[in-house]
Each structure stands twice: as C-alpha cells, then as structure tokens.
A and B are shown apart, each in its own frame.
Chain A
Amino acid sequence: MGPEPLGPVRAVSARISRRLLLAALTLSALSPLVLLLLTSVGREWFFPALWPASITIESWRDAFGGGGRIAGALGTSLALAVATGLASAAVGWPIGRTMADLRGWPRHVGAAAAFLPVAAPPVALATGLHLSALTMGVAGTFGGVLLSHLVPAVGYAALYFLGVFTLFDRRIEDEARTLGARSRTVLWRVTVPMLRRQVGEAFLLGFLVSWAQVATTLVIGGGRVRTLPLEVFSYLQAGQDRYAATGALLLVIPALLMLGAVRFAVDRAEATPL
C-alpha cells in the first residue's frame, strides 16, 4: 500500500520533486563512475577541455599484463577480503550470539564493547596495533595485515549478529532439541540454513571492510603488502591519475560483483523450501 493521496497541488509538486530526485539520484550514482572511466583512458585532459585530447588503454593493458602492479595488488586484496569475510562471519556469529543473551547492564557493556572496533579510528587502531604486530613478528606480512583487517571486520560481524540474534526466535531450535537432535545438528541443519541470508551478508560485510582498508594495511604492512587501495593511493601521490583511476575502478567492480553474487546466492537459497 502506497502513500496516502495528497491534495492536488501537493500531488503535482510531489510528482515533480520525485522526478527531479530520481534524475539527481541517477546522476549522482553514475557520474563518478563515468568520470573515473574517462580519467582511466584519457591523455592530456586539461582545463577547460570537457573530453580528453586522446585516448589510451595503456593503464588497463598494464593492469592485466604480466608483472602489473595493479594485477598483483588486486589478487592480494581479493585474497585478504575473502579470508576476512569468511573468518569474520565465522567468528562474529558465536560472539554476537553469546552477546545477545546478555541482559541488564552487561548488555550495555557488551554492546559498547562490540561497537569499539567499529568506532575506533583506523589510524588509531593501526598505530595501536603496530607494536603488537611487531612483537608477534607479523608486521609487514600478509598474515599480519589479515589480522589487522579482522579487528574491525569481526567487530562489524559481531554487531551484526548481535542484532540478528536479538530478533531471532529460538523456539525452532528448542523444538528441534526436544525432538532429540544434538546441538551441532541443530546448528548446521536448522539454524544456519534459516540464517543463510544473514551469513551471506556478514561475509559481504567482512569482505567490504577488508576491501577498503588503507590505514591498517599501510601501517601494519609497512608498505610491503600491496593491496589495491594502497596502489591507488601511491599512484595518486605520484601524479599518475590514469593508473589511479584504473585502480579505483578495479576497486569498485569486484565489490559490486560480490554484492550481486551474495544476493543472487541468497535469493536462490531462500527460494528453496525448507
């Protein structure tokens, strides 16, 4: 059921503002991507020109060519993000679930604690964790950077599952148990299938958190673990806008694809009757 019919004047102005807003949304969603695309192939694009003077696919060719910095960084970023997504969903679930059982003042403490890694400024987090990384000998390694990504990612996942399990109706689980199923069976054959969409979203959350990290990768990785955002940053600082824009688009596309893939997988799963 839609919004209640308004008076005629308001209706017309509502329709016009809706159209305007729709146009504005289209422009705002698409123009940055178009701009990045043009920059990634443009040569000699100076004020006041609206179009680049000439086009080159050099940066795209380099990105997928042999020994390309961007290709390597893309691989590193993907590996980190997938690992973070999986780990944070797996770890965030039990943590969020346990916190959902809290009542009274422990609940406030729990919620605030879960918020902490999400709220901590990335630069603060990175500098604070740097010494621990150095002590553990993982500074400047893939593993160290992965751990540093997990800190905010697990926080987001825990917070997310806290919300999920607060609303979750446990009676189905209880019924399954009264029917004689063991806890593990209940978990894997009842709860997880019910919460497939949420698991997918938690994975996506962890993936995106890791995907976009700059400060933690920079500080903990010591500049040696090259992720795609780091390369975009480096190219920007070197004045190589074309390469930076190519990298930036390569940052966007997998994230969009992952979003689509998770929704697709979840939709298909939900279509299956339980």
Chain B
Amino acid sequence: MSSRPGSGRPSVVTSLTLAFGIALGACRPAERASAADLARLPWDSVVARARGTSVTWRMWRGDPSVNAYVDRWVAPRVKARYGIGLTAVEGRGPEIVNQLVVEHEAGARGSTDLVWINGETFGNLRREALLDGPWAGGLPNAQYVDSASPIVQRDFEQEPAGYESPWGRVQFALIYDSARTPEPPRTVAALGDWILAHPGRFTHDGQFTGVTFLEVLLYALGGGVQRYQGGFDSVRYAEGSAKVFQWLERHRPAFWRGGKTFPPGVAELHRLFANREVDFSMSYNQNEVVTKVRQGILPPTARPLLLRDGTLANSHFVGIPFNAPNAAGAMVVANFLLSPEAQLEKQKAEVWADGTVLAPDRLPVEWAERFARLARDPRALPPDSLAKYARPEVSPLYHERLAADWRRLVRQGAE
C-alpha cells in the first residue's frame, strides 16, 4: 500500500475501525445484563453482582458543591458499603443524547453506566429507546419516594415509567438583594411595575433559565398552568405566547441596556446582579442562592423570591443507558442516592441545598424528624411556600417554542 498522503489508506482504516466496532457491538448483548432483567431479581443478588465493580456516571459537573457531595460523600460510602468505585464524568443533556445516539448507530460498547437527566433529555432518550428499563420502581428505597407529588411523579409531563429514578427537586425563583430591594415585587404584575419604575435594573438571560422565566410569564399571563397541561397545543401556545411577547415589548425598553442585548447565560446574569448592574437574578434552583452565597459568588444579603402567580418546579433524575456495561452497579448507586441518609445530606444548606424527593410521611419516624429538624439556612424558603406556589412543568415543546420565538422576535428584533 502506497504511503503517499491522500491515497487509499484512510478508507482502509475507516472500514477496519467500523468493522471492529460492529464486531464488538455484536458481542455485547450476550454478555450484558440489562437493568430491566436485574430488576426482577432479588435485590441481594443485584448487590452481589455489583460488588467490586466500577460505575461511570455522566453528569453536569459545573457546581463545586455538587461535585464535592458526589466525589467526597457519595463515592466513599458506596465504595465502603458496596465495593463500587464511582467515577463522575462531565456531560450535559445534549452531549449525553449525542453520545448515546452515536454509540447506538455504531453498535459500539457502552462507556457510561448512569446519567443525570430530566425533561427534554429524558424525552429525547426515551423516544430513541436509548434508556434501559423499567427498573426504578424495583429499588428498595423507591418506597419512600413522594409519588403523590405531581412534581416527582412526572418529568416535564412525561411518565418516568421506571426508566429513570428521581434524585432531587428544585423550584424556579427570582433572586434579589434584601439590602438593595427591601420590598421586592411578589407578583408578575408588580414586577412589571417595578421594572418600569427602575429602568435598566432588570434583565433575563438567553438560555435555559431565561426561557424558564418566559414560561413563568406564560402561566401567569396566559391563564394558569392548567391551560397548558395535557400535551402541546399550538393554538393555546399562540394565544399565551402573544401575551408573553406583548409584556416583553412593553417592559423591554426599561430592561438593562435598554433591552437591546441580553446576557448570554444565567452565570453572566448572576455576575451582573452581584456587581450591582441589575437588581434581580434568577435560578432554576431556589436554593442556588444558599450555595452561591456560601461560595462567595453572590452577596450575603441575596435572597430567593417566589412569585405568587406560581413558579415552575420539577425533579431531576438518574437513568441507565441502554448499553450500560454495569447496570447492576448503577442500580445500587441509584438506590443509595434515594436513601434517606443520602437525601438528607444533599439537602443540607452547607452541602447542596437540593430538595428531597422523599415523602416525610413515608419515612421511618426518626428520619422524618431529622428532615424536619434540618437546620434551615435563613436564606432558604419555607417548604409550605414552596409547595403553595409550585407549578409542574408542562410539555417540553412549550419551552422549545418559547426559546425559538424569543430568539426570533426579541433578541434579533431590536429595531
């Protein structure tokens, strides 16, 4: 074979690699035990299979608090109790979807055992049959899960149906500085008036959190979340979004920078807020304030704010990919994550302040008491307010359409 560059060599390499990959892929099913099968076995045998193995968990690694919880609290404990070596690897929703799609097409062997997902990601993976299951209902700790809650029961209106196991819950909240804004507006209408009275002191970002804010506006201005439940309805979307964009047009000239440019993401918005360029930020997790104040990224006087019109709440989950090499290990880890002990630790203000998916009334008494006694950071919100104003997420298509229309009508329509 000639060694000149640009000759036939690349195609030989290509076909060899592809052939090898396919051959490997073809070998896989015989060896691999699926989570669905394992879920039918007694739990002890699952734990026994998982002992001495390693689990690779693809998750978002952008928050040092979350990383510290996973790397320094969860991992040593699953190692000590179950002999599992847990390694967390960076990966966000779209990246995970891409990876699994590619692996599926190439018939390649899997590299990830557990994934941290929700919403759109879950929907995409389920639609392409890239998740293993059902398995989540068979976990011993699943009995404690607050399955009565619509927030935990459904993932953006989709049924987990045992293909993902709940891990935590969060609720959308605005963030304000109690030193600068002692009397913050508490409804969308009041917020609108506040914006007009304080020009240049409010904005939202152009990515996920900002679009969630638009969804909050949609529910508030469009007649409540009930109108948008039950799947995507383009007529209702058209009516509701028209009101959202009218609201934006009316208030936009009083936004930061005259509404002509928007911060790219929520991190930039936090920076603007902390540095007094704007007086509000927002977060998908109402307790992000707690962790970010602790990290010195937000001022100590920052507080979360729920809008009385209702804010979005949802849960996040863990799933097992269709080609996970170690489904047993993944199931054991997922079960541990659901344990009252792990959920309690996760909710601590100094750890992560992520809400629990367990129902206190289903827990053994001593655990229920511990959750109740959990020293609450004064910056966190009382659970009854959270419950009162929580609204479930609706079909992910609303979010997608709002994002696309916002880009088209607001971000570009500066003239």
- A-side residues, CB < 8 A to B, are 42-47, 53-54, 56, 58, 62, 67, 69, 134-140, 222-224, 226, 234-243
Contact = CB atoms under 8 A, between A and B. Distances in A.
A37 to B, nearest CB: 16
Given A237-B62, A243-B64, A222 B17 contact: no
B223 interface: no
B296 A43 contact: yes
Contacts of A136: 10, 13-14, 17-18
B296 A56 contact: yes
Contacts of A226: 90
B95 A238 contact: no
Interface in B79-125: 89-92, 95, 98-99, 102, 106, 108
Contacts of B268: 239
A267 to B, nearest CB: 34
Given A56-B296, A240-B64, A223 B95 contact: yes
Interface stretch (B33-41, B143-151, B269-277): B269-277
Given A135-B18, A136-B14, A137-B21, A240 B63 contact: yes
Contacts of A46: 274-276, 299
Nearest to B72: A67
B99 A140 contact: yes
16 contacts: A43-B295, A44-B300, A54-B296, A69-B61, A134-B102, A135-B14, A136-B10, A136-B14, A139-B102, A222-B95, A222-B98, A224-B91, A237-B267, A238-B267, A239-B270, A243-B64
B71 A236 contact: no
Contacts, number: 86
B305 interface: no
B99 A69 contact: no
A239 B99 contact: no
A157 B14 CA distance: 26
Nearest to B297: A239
Contacts of A240: 62-64, 267, 295, 297
Interface in B55-84: 61-64, 67, 71
A137 B71 CA distance: 31
B91 A223 contact: yes
A239 B267 contact: yes
B92 A223 contact: yes
A223 to B, nearest CB: 4
Nearest to B281: A239
A190 B99 CA distance: 49
A47 B91 contact: no
Nearest to B60: A238
A213 B6 CA distance: 25
Q: Which of A47, A234, A237 has the most CB of B within 10 A?
A: A237
A238 B297 CA distance: 11
B265 interface: yes
Contacts of A69: 61, 67, 90
Contact of B71 (A67, A237, A239): A67
A44 B299 contact: yes
B211 interface: no
Contacts of B270: 239
Contacts of B92: 223
Contacts of B89: 224
Given A224-B90, A239-B268, 12 more contacts: A47-B275, A62-B64, A134-B102, A223-B90, A223-B99, A224-B91, A224-B95, A236-B267, A238-B267, A239-B267, A242-B295, A243-B64
Contacts of A242: 295-297
A103 to B, nearest CB: 21
B179 to A, nearest CB: 11
Contacts of A139: 102
| Those 3 A-B pairs whose CB atoms lie nearest each other, nearest first | A238-B62, A43-B296, A239-B267
Nearest to A47: B275
B292 interface: yes
Contacts of B61: 69, 234
Given A135-B18, A136-B14, A136-B17, A239 B64 contact: no
Nearest to B92: A223
A139 B102 CA distance: 9
Nearest to A234: B62
A99 to B, nearest CB: 12
Contact of B296 (A44, A137, A138, A223): A44
A137 B297 contact: no
B105 to A, nearest CB: 8
Contact of A239 (B106, B266, B276): B266
A137 B15 CA distance: 10
Interface string B279-306: 0000000000000100111011000000
A222 B14 contact: no
A137 B108 contact: yes
Nearest to A66: B71
Contacts of A45: 296
Interface in B2-17: 10, 13-14, 17
A42 B13 CA distance: 51
A43 B274 CA distance: 12
A239 B292 contact: yes
Interface in B224-277: 265-268, 270-271, 274-277
A132 B106 CA distance: 13
Contacts of B106: 134, 137
A68 B299 CA distance: 27
Contacts of B13: 136
B265 A237 contact: yes
Contacts of B63: 238, 240
A235 B14 CA distance: 36
Nearest to B10: A136
Nearest to B296: A43
Contacts of B62: 234-235, 237-238, 240
Nearest to A135: B14
